[in-house]
Amino acid sequence: MTQSSRQTWGAPNEPAALISRVLAERAVQPLFQPIVHLATRQLVGVEALARGPAGSPVEFPDQLFEAAARAGMVAELDQLCAARAHEIAQAPGTVVPPLVFINKEPAGADHPLSDELRSRIASISTYRYVLEFTERALAAHPSALLEVAARAHRTGGALALDDVGADRLSLAFLPLMEPEVVKLDMHLLREPYSAHTVETTALVSGFAERTGAAVVAEGIETEQDLLVARALGACWGQGWLFARPGPLSVLRHWPVHPAARLRAPRPELHQPGVSPFTLVSARQHARTGDRHLIDGLTEYVLRQLAFAGPYGLVLGAYPDPAVGRGWLPRLAAPASTAALVGLSGPPLGVPDPTPIRTTADDSADGSETALAIVDPHVTVTLCARQRDDRAVDFVLSHDPDVVHAVARTLLHRLGPDQSLPAPSDDHAVVSAASGLERDDRRAVPAG
């Protein structure tokens, strides 16, 4: 970095001034890295990787988003990066592959689209965009992320879950998010024989078989990496073996794979929808019982928690505080081992039962109760609605599609995780939307 560049753009400890200028001058220049079909090495798409002004203290994405986090402008920068990627892909005469992957910053998940980004998305005609996010987004604000996912599908886009295997939340949320693309974390390639890699890739392969999702291996640097990626179940890949990030024009003569396409959008999948009981009773026949039977069935569902592991999600909605407080002791142990345990309903009137995520929701139907467990080894939901003083209508289901739909409805009710660091904290300065692949940081390829 030259002294003149520092003088032009200022010092790194002036984040507000730096980012304000980047935003005002639209001083983001994306680079693009190819994603290829591993069997043929033909192009299927590109990932847009953000870069700040060359030679400045915010040239690289970690620096760029750190400055934005300190200035409280992450959402604005995130949307500018996306808009600039679309702008370049839509430039006259540009040859674009079928898929353009664009990262999504979790801190901006609950922000509305800017007019510019909305216009750019509406102008897409020669490619399909794939919104890419990590497990950090899932943990930070799951209900906002579901809204983002629904919006992506409404506008013709697709979803990619990045860094799968780096955190257990990514595997836990796979069946609820149902992304069109699953991107394996690069450390899986480096440790192909570890129990964690074997378990992760086995679960991802099963998900891909069920849904038709494409599996991408990141960080492919050698021919051996390529062989390992295919053995682990990846059909697509990216990394320095194929190309480093560069201008989109460099790829204009690359051959494109004829099957570079993804599952059609399903806008209704991530919508808030109706109440859990209304949802399940429309799909399965509801039975009627008394309160004693419902208590017995609730106990049955709670006993299934013994079969849930680190990739489990346990979600519930209670009609009154007494019911919610009654669940807390039973959920305390699973909450320490499962990926997420979350409840919504009227305020419980007790201290926050960490690590159970609770969200006060006075608007919920006071006649409904719902519990859902989503785990690779157990999938079950019980949804009940009080009919009168003595009778309760209910549906008990083990159908994965039904259980996942109920879980998504319950997930919409969860607020942001208050235990996570604020976007301005030092812990949150490296962004999922930075577009900086970890192999992109290295001076030379490993191995």
CATH code assigned to 15-267+422-441? 3.20.20.450
Sign of torsion over alpha carbons 402, 404, 409, 414:
positive
pLDDT at 286: 97
pLDDT at 192: 96
List where CATH 3.20.20.450 sits in the chain. Answer: 15-267+422-441
pLDDT at 437: 41
Contacts (Cβ under 8 Å, ≥6 apart) of 139: 169, 340, 417, 420
Decide: 230 and 40 in contact? Cβ < 8 Å.
Answer: no
pLDDT at 56: 87
Kindly report the pTM of this predicted structure. 0.89
Is pLDDT above 50 for 303?
Answer: yes
User: What angle, rounded to 10 degrees, do the helices at 61-71 and 74-89 form?
Assistant: 140
Kindly report the length of the chain: 447
Range in 47-56, 122-131, 303-312, 437-446 with the lowest mean pLDDT: 437-446
In degrees, rounded to 5, the angle at the alpha carbon of residue 384 between the alpha carbons of residues 291 and 310 is 110
List where CATH 3.30.870 sits in the chain. Answer: 276-411
Cα(395)–Cα(417) distance, integer angstroms:
30
Number of helices and strands in the chain (H, E):
15, 15
Is pLDDT above 50 for 328?
Answer: yes
The encoded tokens of residue 244 equal 């480093």
- For strand 368-374 and strand 357-360, is the pairing parallel, antiparallel, or unpaired? unpaired
State pLDDT tens for residues 99-119. Answer: 999 998 877 777 889 999 999
Range in 75-79, 218-222, 370-374, 432-436 with the lowest mean pLDDT: 432-436
Query: Residue 363 — very low, low, confident or very high, per pLDDT cuts 50/70/90?
Result: low
State pLDDT tens for residues 44-63. Answer: 999 999 999 988 888 999 88
pLDDT at 111: 86
State pLDDT tens for residues 332-354. Answer: 999 989 999 999 999 988 887 77
Q: Does domain 276-411 have CATH number 2.60.40?
A: no
